[in-house]
Amino acid sequence: MFTRRGFVKLLGGGFFGAMALGGYAFGVEPLARLSVARYVLTPSRWPSGLKLRIVALADIHACEPWMSTRRITSICERANALGGDVTVLLGDYAAGMNLVTRYVHSNEWSKALATLKAPLGVHAIMGNHDWWEDRTAQKNGGGETFGHRALAEAGIEVYSNRAVRLEKDGSGFWLAGLEDQLALLPGRKWKRASMGGLDDLDGTLAQVTDEAPVILLAHEPDIFPKVPPRVALTLSGHTHGGQVRFAGHSPVVPSRFGDRYAYGHIVEYDRNLIVSGGLGCSIAPIRFGVPPEIVVVDIG
């Protein structure tokens, strides 16, 4: 028989359970955890003699206490120890929420990222928050953000619809980086009714001049259905894995495709996409089931 005392115990247990889960999602997973997500793949038409390790960092969202300069530096030390041939930064360095004790300036987070090292260099693209937080760039409707300038001054290659050929052990590959797909907010002088992108997929891939494989950096994964099979791998961030993920599903994802491109390795029509769960938080400092992560991809 279900008594009043039993009901009270059940209610109390549920309350304290919810408090414990909330405390973990708010104070432990986003602030104290760091995982390494590893993927191994060999895309079709990948050169048999080329073995490549990519280390990818996404969605840092620099702010205190969640992603301080000290923590970013520590993450970079961990990334350097993973032995990547090339390191890529997938955008969103600027804070994406107001629940902070201090915003970390671009001069600070870029100096922390300058500690990243890789034999084939460190290469970066911008994310939507890097554009949204720059009022001058929004007013101009393009150009450079403070993020572009800070990374360039730190010696990091920044890609804005650009492709560059790299080489390892005598085999070449292309690294292509798109400008952000949601860069421009609505209601500005260009009279857009919705967010406008500055990405140019066709123009970027037109810079590829031989048959070497292409690795594409695109902050938002929503571009993936348009990516041709010519691209061996697309690397994205932006979604944070939904920040809350249960049993392989994210109930809320900032993508028009919902959970389809929320997280992980997705293969569609012989094309590969890897979406990082990211490092920081956006909107709210909550993570559950998708801890901050560094991505390591071994190709070939």
pLDDT tens digits, one per residue of 101-159:
999 999 999 999 999 999 999 999 999 999 999 999 999 999 999 999 999 999 999 99
Phi-psi map region of 163: left, alpha, beta (phi>0 left; psi -120 to 50 alpha): beta
Q: Are strands 293-299 and 52-57 parallel, antiparallel or unpaired?
A: antiparallel
The strand ranges marked E within 125-284 are 157-158, 162-168, 171-177, 214-217, 231-236, 264-268, 271-275
Burial grade of 89 (CB within 10 A; 0-12, 13-18, 19 or more): buried
How far, CA to CA in Å, does 143 sit from each of 153, 179, 232? 16, 11, 29
Could you read off the pLDDT tens digit of each residue along the chain, which spans 300 residues?
A: 444 444 334 344 443 333 344 456 556 766 668 999 999 999 999 999 999 999 999 999 999 999 999 999 999 999 999 999 999 999 999 998 999 999 999 999 999 999 999 999 999 999 999 999 999 999 999 999 999 999 999 999 999 999 999 999 999 999 999 999 999 999 745 455 578 999 999 999 999 999 999 999 999 999 999 999 999 999 999 999 999 998 889 999 999 999 999 999 999 999 999 999 999 999 999 999 999 999 999 999
Model pTM? 0.90
- What was the pLDDT predicted at 200? 98
Q: Are strands 293-299 and 271-275 parallel, antiparallel or unpaired?
A: unpaired
Nearest to 234 by CA among 248, 254, 220: 220
How far, CA to CA in Å, does 154 sit from each of 109, 224, 248? 10, 30, 37
Rounded to the nearest 10°, the torsion over CA 66, 72, 75, 77 is -150
CA distance 61 to 28: 17
CA distance 77 to 116: 7
- What was the pLDDT predicted at 66? 94
CA distance 222 to 259: 11
